[in-house]
Amino acid sequence: MYLSFYGFQEKPFSMTPDPHFFYPSRRHEEALFSLLYTVRERKGFAVVTGEIGSGKTTVCRALLERLDSQTRTAIITNTYLTGKQLIALALEDFGVPVPKGSKVDILKRLNEFLIEELAAGGNCVLIIDEAQNLSPTALEEVRMLSNLETEKEKLIQIILLGQPELRDKLELPALAQLRQRVNVSYHVDPLSRAEMEEYIRHRLRVAGGDTAVTFTDEALQAIYEFSGGVPRVVNMLCDRALLVGYVAETRTIDREFVLDAAKELGIEQDNRRSQESRC
């Protein structure tokens, strides 16, 4: 609605995890490099956690853009699965027909596929999003996949993305063996105040309208107060504030516009309480 008014080529604060808008804050860039290291060096297991909306999925999409053509990926987002369902879904997402039969039959076919890929110079990566929802039994099945290896290399690299509850779940005594297999573990923190400001400018630049709209210092401070630096909430506030500015026919976004946006989104009271708890 407001794209032409501000001169944007695309929406700068879309809620989709578009790697085109990836902002390399220190934590997000470190998380991305950690995942690239896991995949390229065939390290087996990596875990990335963060609060809802912290940018984990965007980091994952940025990772996918940087993988070469020899790397095959399977992405699982439905994590309310049994162990057999998880293995079958992984095989299917790799593009391999799932054989009828037991879990052993499916696992055997997966192992054959991974060996074929290795022989052809390929690498296979299984990415499981929202992994905190996996049951301990399903997580143990994931660990068993890491046993698929040759004498020198892991046949499959596994990346678990999840909310902080995933870290707690991995501390369960029953998952001690899985915990020991994790070579890279990284937690994505919210943006700092300075990072958030550059994040907003970055997205405006990418959308093609960084010179057409101005967020005042007071507006930026309000966005940080309400969002706590969580990228998803920053996007929500900025998108709605731009809409308020469009209605008011101004390209300067001030604090009042952000307050209106927060109120319309229903996040004003909750975030004020969270800010007060930090003080």
Please give the pLDDT value at position 207.
93
Residues 6+ apart with CB under 8 A from 39: 63, 67, 71, 123, 125, 157, 159
Whether the CA torsion 258, 263, 265, 266 is positive or negative: it is: positive
Structure confidence at residue 81 as a pLDDT band (50, 70, 90): confident
pLDDT at residue 188, as a whole number: 94
* Beta strands at 71-76 and 45-50: parallel, antiparallel or unpaired: unpaired
Fold of 3-17+191-278: Helicase, Ruva Protein; domain 3 (1.10.8)
Phi/psi at 62 (nearest 5 deg)?
-65, -35
Question: 39 or 146, which is more confident?
Answer: 39
* CATH class label, 26-188: alpha beta
Question: What does the angle CA 89 – CA 99 – CA 73 come to, to the nearest 5 degrees?
Answer: 35
Residue 197 vs residues 10, 22, 104, 222, 239: alpha-carbon distances, Å: 20, 14, 52, 11, 15
Q: pLDDT tens, 1-11?
A: 789 899 899 99
- Domain residue ranges in the chain: 3-17+191-278, 26-188
Measured CA to CA, the distance from residue 172 to residue 134 in angstroms comes to 13
pLDDT of residue 277: 40
Listed residue (36, 4, 53) closest to 163, CA to CA: 53
Q: What is the Cα–Cα distance from 213 to 47, expressed in whole angstroms?
A: 38
More confident residue, 78 or 187: 187
pLDDT in tens, 9-24: 999 999 988 999 999 9
Would strands 252-253 and 157-162 be described as parallel, antiparallel, or unpaired?
unpaired
As a whole-number percent, the residues of the chain with pLDDT over 90 amount to 75
Digit-coded pLDDT (tens) for 110-130? 999 999 999 999 999 999 999
Provide the 10 A C-beta neighbour count for residue 112.
11
Kindly state the average pLDDT of the residues 186-191. Answer: 94
Rounded Cα distance between 196 and 187, Å, is 18
How far is it, in rounded angstroms, from Cα 222 to Cα 258?
7
CA distance 54 to 57: 9
Kindly report, residue by residue over 18-60, the tens digit of the pLDDT.
999 999 999 999 999 999 999 999 988 999 999 999 999 999 9
* pLDDT in the model for residue 185: 92
